[in-house]
Structure 1
Amino acid sequence: MRTAATLLIVALAVLVQATVVNRIPFAWGTGPDLVVAALAAVALTASPAVSAGSGFAAGLAMDLMPPADHAVGRYALVLCVVFYLVALLRANTGAPGAVGGRPSAWTGIGTALAASLGVSAAYAAVGLVVGDPRLSLGALAVAAGTGAVLTTLVAPLVTLPLLWMRTVFTEDEFATVQGPTRLGGW
């Protein structure tokens, strides 16, 4: 149930991001990144492999959905690597801010902020490597800062409910039959 609900919510974040948020003409340029906010909760409650896979799938969906204006795979690569590193950091540090095995709200919001800055920096780095002519340092700094602030502002609406849902549902809702415990069989 946890995996299915997570897939549904991340897919919904991708859909709303591509069809609503990316089409709003913000006066300051960039808007919040709902996908990053959703994946922050996944990275705080899942293994690095699951986080990387979720980031790759969500990023590839964003790469393929209009109005994408970059090479296919660029956002998928960035989300895959950033959320792998976030989950790896969480796994190796013991989830700072965890209360009863559940990351705190501040940890979720802080992770959304840090991930948003990391995604912006990694996206720009990939753009430099592939020779994106639209990159300028000033515009990039403004876009990254604005996007990080706006993503942090929407994190309580996206990250926290998903974080709560992932910690409430368990992966093994149904009892399973354990096989033979010794070499002789049952």
Structure 2
Amino acid sequence: MRLWLRIFLGIVLALVIAATTLYVYAKRERGLEQEVLASLKKNIVVSSGSFPPNGDMPINCTCKGQELSPALAWEANLPDAESYVILATDYDAPTPAFPLFNLAHWVVYNLPTSVRSLPEGVTAEQMRMLGGKIGKNSLGDMKYIGPCPPFGRHAYVFRIYALDQPISFTDLPGKSDVLEAMQGHILGYGELTGYF
């Protein structure tokens, strides 16, 4: 067999192994999240003035527009709640047919319970004034990433969790850090899905 063909086949095999590993890892991570969600009360009603439930997200909330975070509002009757967490995730990256990543688009934590809504395009300064903190998204930035799917129509899940206490970190947390810190402190959750 010619050398170039062996090299080509070696590269293809390495890519297949890498893609399969990523697929299995992403599926496992999502499965673990689903297990936790199945044990929780879904007692928060989440809505958005930017898009309807299971509807299309507006261009201005995506990479094709201004990449503004969507407006969110939530209703909960949880007197023991001390803080809220918002996690926005795309489980379809890079394509719904073969998802390889659980892409964290937005990580917000320690929102006071007096806050029950966020305006569209909430800024880091507004978030700070509200008392909330922004963690790292999957790109390592402290901001909202607007939907920008390379292939297909993706689902973007916005989950809001009520906790019985604020959570703290020594370093700037990402989604997995927040999920870990929340364990044993979640009083309930709600979710809203948008598509783009």
TM-score by length of 1: 0.30
Higher strand share goes to which structure? 2
Q: Which structure ranks higher in relative contact order (CA pairs < 8 Å, sequence separation ≥ 6)?
A: 1
TM-score using structure 2 length: 0.29
Q: Normalized per residue, which structure has more helix? A: 1
